[in-house]
Amino acid sequence: MYGKLIISSLALLIASQSAFAAGSGGIVLGATRVVYDANNKEASITINNKNSDQYFLVQSWIDDENGNKKVPFAITPPLFRLDAEKENMMRILKTAGDLPSDRESVFYINVKAIPPVPENTNAQNTLQLAIKTRIKMFYRPKGLTGNPAESGKQLQWSHQGNDLVVKNPTNYSVSFNEINLSGKALKDINMVLPKSETHYAWPAGAGNNVTFAFINDYGGVSELISATAN
* 12 has pLDDT over 70: no
In a domain, residue 65? The reply is yes
Q: Which of 91, 107, 140 is the last residue of a domain?
A: 140
Same domain, 53 and 136: yes
> Does one domain contain both 133 and 32?
yes
The mean pLDDT value for 44-49 works out to 97
The domain containing residue 136 runs over which residues?
27-117+128-140
Total number of domains in the chain: 2
What burial class does residue 151 get, using C-beta atoms within 10 Å of its C-beta: 0-12 exposed, 13-18 middle, 19+ buried? Answer: buried
Contacts of 82 (CB under 8 A, 6+ apart): 27, 47, 49, 55, 56, 57, 58, 88, 113
Task: Say whether both 37 and 134 belong to one domain.
Answer: yes
Closest Cα to residue 92, out of 18, 29, 149, 9?
29
73-112 pLDDT per residue, tens:
999 999 999 999 999 999 999 998 899 999 999 999 999 9
Last residue of a domain, which of 109, 140, 171?
A: 140
Spatial distance between the Cα atoms of 165 and 158, rounded to a whole number of angstroms? 5
Residues 177-199 have pLDDT tens digits of 999 999 999 999 999 999 999 99
163 lies in the same domain as 135: no
Task: Look up residue 39 and give its amino acid.
Answer: N
Instruction: Indicate if 49 and 136 belong to the same structural domain.
Output: yes
Domain boundary among the residues 140, 171, 205 is at: 140
Asked if 221 and 202 sit in the same domain, the reply is yes
Do 93 and 153 lie in one domain? The reply is no
Q: What is the pLDDT of residue 154?
A: 98
Residues 97 and 182 in one domain: no
CATH (domain of 194) = 2.60.40.10
To 5 degrees, how large is the angle CA 175–CA 223–CA 136?
20
Nearest to 2 by CA among 130, 131, 128: 128
- pLDDT confidence of residue 24: 35
Shared domain check, 110 and 191: no
Same domain, 153 and 183: yes
Instruction: Please tell me whether residues 47 and 111 are part of one structural domain.
Output: yes
Please tell me the distance from the alpha carbon of residue 24 to that of residue 32, in angstroms, as a whole number.
21
Cis peptide, bond prior to residue 77, ω within 30 of zero? yes
